Structures are given as C-alpha cells and as structure tokens.
Amino acid sequence: MRILSTWVSILSLSLFMGACADEKADSSSTAPVADAGNSSVQDAAAGAPDTASAAPDDVTVEDDAGVVLGLGPDDEFAQMGCALLEGEKSNPVAGLTAAEAGQQLIVPSHETGYAITLPESGTGFVTLEVPDWQVVIALFTLEGVEIILHDPDDKAEVVQELSYAAPCSEQQVIEERTKFHKWGGFTMELRGEPGGEVWLAAVDLPLD
Amino acid sequence: MARGRRSAPGLIAALVLIGGLSGACQGASGDQPPDPAVQKVELGRHLFYERRLSVEGNRSCGICHEPALGFTDGFVRAVGSTDEVHHRNTLTLTNVGRREALTWGAGAPDSLEEQLLIPLMGEHPVEMGMANQMDAALDELRSDLIYERLFHEAFPESEDPFTLERLSEAIAAFERTLVSQTSPFDRYVAGEEDALDAAARRGLELFFSHRLRCGSCHAGPDLDQPTEEGEIVARHGWFNIGLYDVDGQGAYPERDQGRFEVTGLQEDRGRFRTPTLRNIELTGPYYHDGSGASLADVIRNYAAGGREVLGGPNPGDGRDNPHKSDLVRGFEISEQEAEDLEAFLRALTDWEMVEDPALADPWPRD
C-alpha cells in the first residue's frame, strides 16, 4: 500500500512486491483469487507469493531498497481486520479508471470486509470514503496486492508502516495504518490479478 | 474575448446575469434587519456550527457545509453522524436563500426552515441523527450562557425561545446570509474588466457560445437555471445529462432515479436539479452522486454528449440514455478551450465569501 500525493510517495509496496517477484516466479504481482464467502484467508493465501511461509515473527524480507516488512501491532483492530478478511464479504466492483472511482464507495467498517472485483486490466479504482477528521484507518489485504491511495492534497500520512497483520501473518495478510487529517473521498487504485478479486478490510480506529 | 468588447452571446448572458444579480442584491439589502434579526442570524451561525446538534457530537450543519469547500463536505456521497452513507452528494449552500428547489430531486420542503429538519432529524438516512434527541439538546442549549443570551436577544418576545421552531428559524436566517456576489465573474459582469484574466474571458465566451451552450441550463444569477432564446427570467430546470444507462432503457443506478421518484414519470428518470456553478471549484466531487471526480471529467463528459461507464457497478453508455436531455448533444472542444472553460469556472469562486469571518465557525476548535 502506498499513498501518492502531489509530491511525495510515502511508502512503496510496489517496490516490495517487485522483490517478491524476483524471488517467486509465479503470480507474483497478482492478487490471490478467492470465492467470497466460500473460501478462507488460508485458501486465498495458498495462491499468494510464498514469501512468508514461515511465521513471520522474524521477517527479514527486504526489497532492493532495503525495506523490511515487519510484524504489525497485535491489537483488537488487527484481529478485526483479520476476521473481516476471513468472513463473508461484500462484493463491490472496481471502476476501470480513476474517473470511475466515485461510483464505488468503500466505507471503513468493523462489520464488513470487501472482495472487490477488478477489471480485466488488473487495475481498478474505488473511493475510500473517510468519515471523520483525524481518523486512523487500518487497511488490510493479502500480500501480492498493490493498493495506492491517491492524496493530491496531502491530507493523509502513514502512521503504521506496511507490515504483516500480526494475528493472521501466516495467511500473508498485510496491513498499513494511515491517519487522515480531513475526511472525504480518497481514490484508491487497486492492482492485482486481472479479473480477480482484491480482498480488503478498512477498519477505523477510535478518535483520540 | 477581447477586453472591452463582448460578443453577442456573452452580452446577452451578462445582461441576464446582471438582471438576476441586481434583483438578488435588492432582496438581500431589503433584508437588512433591526437588531433582533441581526441577533437571529448570529444565533443561527452558532447553531449552524453546533456539534451538539448531532447524535454522536461529530456533525453540524457547518461541518457538512464547510466554507472552505464552498459550503459542501468533500464527500462523494455524504456520510452522517453514525457513518451512514447518504445516497446523494452534498449540495452547496451558496446563495441557498434564493433557491426554489433545495434538493437534487425535490419532493422535499421548499422552505429552509422545514428543509433543515430533514438532515437534523431524518432517519433514512441518518445525517445528524437527532430524531429522538432534540428535547435533550434544547435543554442543553438552554443551560449554555451563550445561547441563553443569543436566543433571548434574537426572540425578545418569546418567553421560552428554546424551541425547534425558533432553532430552525435562526439557522435558516443565517443560511440566507450565505451570499456570493463578489467572485471575479461578478466583478467582471459589474464592469471590472480586469477581474477575469484572458483565459477566463475566453472560457466565459465558450460557456455561452452556441457551440457549447452551457448557458442553456446554467444561466440566471446563480448559473443554475435554464433560459431560452429571448427569455430574460430564468426558470427552474431538471435534466438527465446522460450519466448512466444501466439497463439500456435509461435506468440510473437503483439507489437513485432522480425526479422519477417524485413524479413516477418515465421521462423523469435520471433527471436532477441543475446545480449552481458558484464556488464550483471548491465543491467537488460533482453530480448528484459525486461520481464526477474533477471539473475536467465533467467537461469531458459534456463534450462526449454524456458519460460512457466502462467498469464499476453500473456500466452502460449514458450517451444513449433515452431520457437524456436534447440539450446534452456533445461538442468539439480543444485541450486549450477546455482549460479556458475551467479557468472561467474557477472565476466563479468567491473567496471573499468563503473566507468571510461573519460566515465562519464561531466555536473554538482543538
């Protein structure tokens, strides 16, 4: 996951995934495909790059830029994100272009996870509707998916770098936490397997 | 457009606008109130930005109609106090006091006093969520020294002014002061030729040109009403602009069919109110459902004669929507012209208004 602002790219999962691609020849830059509601995170993860087949407590995976993917916080929000990816999901369809992002809203939730269908191009666009000012939102997905948050007005900053989600790290679930200084709609670009699904949970943390 | 010289369409449009604006100004100046009325506006301003008027303490009228965003909220579709997502994009309150229809589809009250009760107390969807909380909220305001003074100064004749009726009266009085009439465009129309730069002047000419005909729907003092040739007084309008054609028969996405939901008439499918273009630079995203990301996208869609949706949940070719207005025909426009048109639209931003301290949040924030 990464945030694209006008001037700064805060975090680049794509770099990290590039490293994975070098290590794993198959489906490296694609999202695991799963039938929402019928399969599990484990099933989906079986199709994911096997970069963390061991429990990643001591993850030392690095990309060319030396980024190390560590283990995220083991708190109730991580548990929530893992549970949402494990459970039954809503099935939105991503737009084909950034101009179509506003037709599909993703709303942070403690109750709903998403299995978002991508276009055949493998790149889709949705809007993350951020409901409050100064709210931190944890985004969870499966390793192999690239999520780019477009933030042209610099209204967001990463507060917890990309990491494995501690409670479900063995299923290659990754998470990143971003603080949004203002509410509103943020375009999210999703890259995964063409025509496949991107699993996503967006969990908002309590306001300070 | 050369400086000091107006083309015929531009001149006609300017005349229409001057007429409308001067009428509006007379209306505003005619409202110059005695002291209780002034205090009613001030009370309304405090209430407009009062977060205690939302069930979770996280919304107010002014939070969802923020001055810096042209009195909108920046959401694609509004999100209420309990995080429930509204089915429509938030309309600007700029010049709302002189608006005939107050929502995208109408069928709602046409007075500000009545309309504001919908976001305040409505339950489908929950916006501010005060349906069962108003008595308690009024009691809380009654015990607040600031409100104790403001309510009594605004309603000196009332023994107990802490009522829902008085509250809505005060908020509406404040909303009627959200007047934009000092944008660069207004100053240009008033004769200040340097108020628009060359690009904006070219954009103005394009806007009212026979090729683009934007002014066919976006005319009048607030650029929100259609006029026909020879017609000076603008009338109210609802249009299907070809954003969707989900089923090949003219359907819009299930959640919102526009005026059809009010009238039941097939030809009203996908018809929505023509919004004002004042402060349009600040009020994105656009359209009734916020599905237009940028002004450039909007211009592109009009140039194409509607919007072809290729992906997402509602694919279809809005250009072929059988209910689409005949006025949305598409047009040729160069890149430079599109930029000029955008420059004109940005000249509708009234910074004096959106930064006016008299319209700002009076409450200290963290």
Mean pLDDT by 10 residues, chain B (366 residues): 36 39 39 74 98 94 96 95 92 90 76 93 93 95 96 94 97 97 96 97 96 90 72 65 95 91 89 94 96 96 97 96 94 98 98 97 82
Q: Are residues B164 and B137 in the same domain?
A: yes
Put simply, the answer to whether A129 touches B313 (Cβ < 8 Å) is no
Q: Calculate what percentage of chain A has a pLDDT beyond 90.
A: 63
Q: ipTM, 2 decimals?
A: 0.82
Indicate left, alpha or beta for B248 from its phi (over 0: left) and psi (-120 to 50: alpha): left
pLDDT value, residue B229: 56
Put simply, the answer to whether B83 touches A185 (Cβ < 8 Å) is no
pLDDT value, residue B151: 97
Q: Tell whether B120 is covered by a domain.
A: yes
Q: Which amino acid is at B148?
A: E
pLDDT tens per residue across span A170-183: 999 999 999 999 99
HSE toward the beta carbon, residue B108, CA cutoff 13 A: 19
pLDDT value, residue A207: 80
Put simply, the answer to whether A103 touches B85 (Cβ < 8 Å) is no
Q: Tell whether B212 is covered by a domain.
A: yes
Which of A57-66, A109-118, A130-139 has the least mean pLDDT? A57-66
Kindly identify which residue of chain B lies nearest to residue A92, measuring between CA atoms.
B313
Range of the domain at B14: 8-24+183-349
Q: Tell whether B237 is covered by a domain.
A: yes
pLDDT tens per residue across span A38-48: 344 444 444 43
Q: Are residues B203 and B159 in the same domain?
A: no
- Per-residue b or e along B205-215, where b marks 16 or more CB atoms closer than 10 Å to that residue's CB: bbbbbeebbbb
pLDDT value, residue B32: 52
Q: Calculate what percentage of chain A has a pLDDT beyond 70.
A: 67
d(C-alpha A45, C-alpha A144), whole Å: 10
pLDDT value, residue A3: 66
CB within 8 Å of A192: residues ≥ 6 apart:
A30, A31, A118, A122, A144, A145, A146, A198
CATH code for the domain in which residue B137 is found: 1.10.760.10
Q: Tell whether B365 is covered by a domain.
A: no
pLDDT value, residue A65: 52
d(C-alpha B280, C-alpha B214), whole Å: 14
d(C-alpha A132, C-alpha B63), whole Å: 10
Kindly identify which residue of chain B lies nearest to residue A95, measuring between CA atoms.
B312
Put simply, the answer to whether A101 touches B293 (Cβ < 8 Å) is yes
pLDDT at residue A37 greater than cutoff 90 = no
Q: Are residues B167 and B284 in the same domain?
A: no
Kindly identify which residue of chain A lies nearest to residue B85, measuring between CA atoms.
A107
pLDDT tens per residue across span A50-93: 333 333 443 344 444 556 689 999 999 999 999 999 999 999 99
pLDDT value, residue B251: 93
d(C-alpha A172, C-alpha A184), whole Å: 30
What string of H, E and C letters represents the secondary structure of chain A? CEEEECCCECCCHHHHHHHHHHHCCCCCCCCCCCCCCCCCHHHHHHCCCCCCCCCHHHCCCECCCCCECEECCCCHHHHHHHHHHHCCEECCECECCHHHHHHCEECCCCCCEEEEECCCCCEEEEEEEECCCCEEEEEEEECCCEEEEEECCCCEEEEEEEEECHHHHHHCEEEEEEEECCCEEEEEEEECCCCCEEEEEEEECCCC
pLDDT value, residue B201: 98
Q: Are residues B228 and B311 in the same domain?
A: yes
A193 compared with B29, residue with greater pLDDT: A193
Q: Do the beta carbons of residue A151 and residue A127 sit within 8 Å?
A: no
Chain A nearest C-alpha distance from B231 (Å): 36
β-strand pairing of A2-5 with A146-151? parallel
Kindly identify which residue of chain B lies nearest to residue A116, measuring between CA atoms.
B312
Cα dist from B100 to A58, B75, B109, B349, whole Å: 65, 24, 10, 22
Tell me the CATH number of domain A2-204, given options 2.60.120.380, 3.40.50.2300, 1.10.540.10, 3.20.20.370: 2.60.120.380
Query: Which residues from B are below 8 Å from A when comparing CB atoms?
Result: 58, 73-77, 79, 83, 85, 253, 285, 289-294, 297, 309-314
Mean predicted confidence (pLDDT) in A162-189: 95
Q: Which residues of B touch A102 (CB under 8 A)?
A: 76, 285, 289-293
Q: Show me where the domains of chain A are located.
A: 2-204
pLDDT value, residue B103: 83
d(C-alpha B51, C-alpha B53), whole Å: 5
Pick from B77, B85, B313: CB nearest A92: B313
pTM for the full predicted model: 0.82
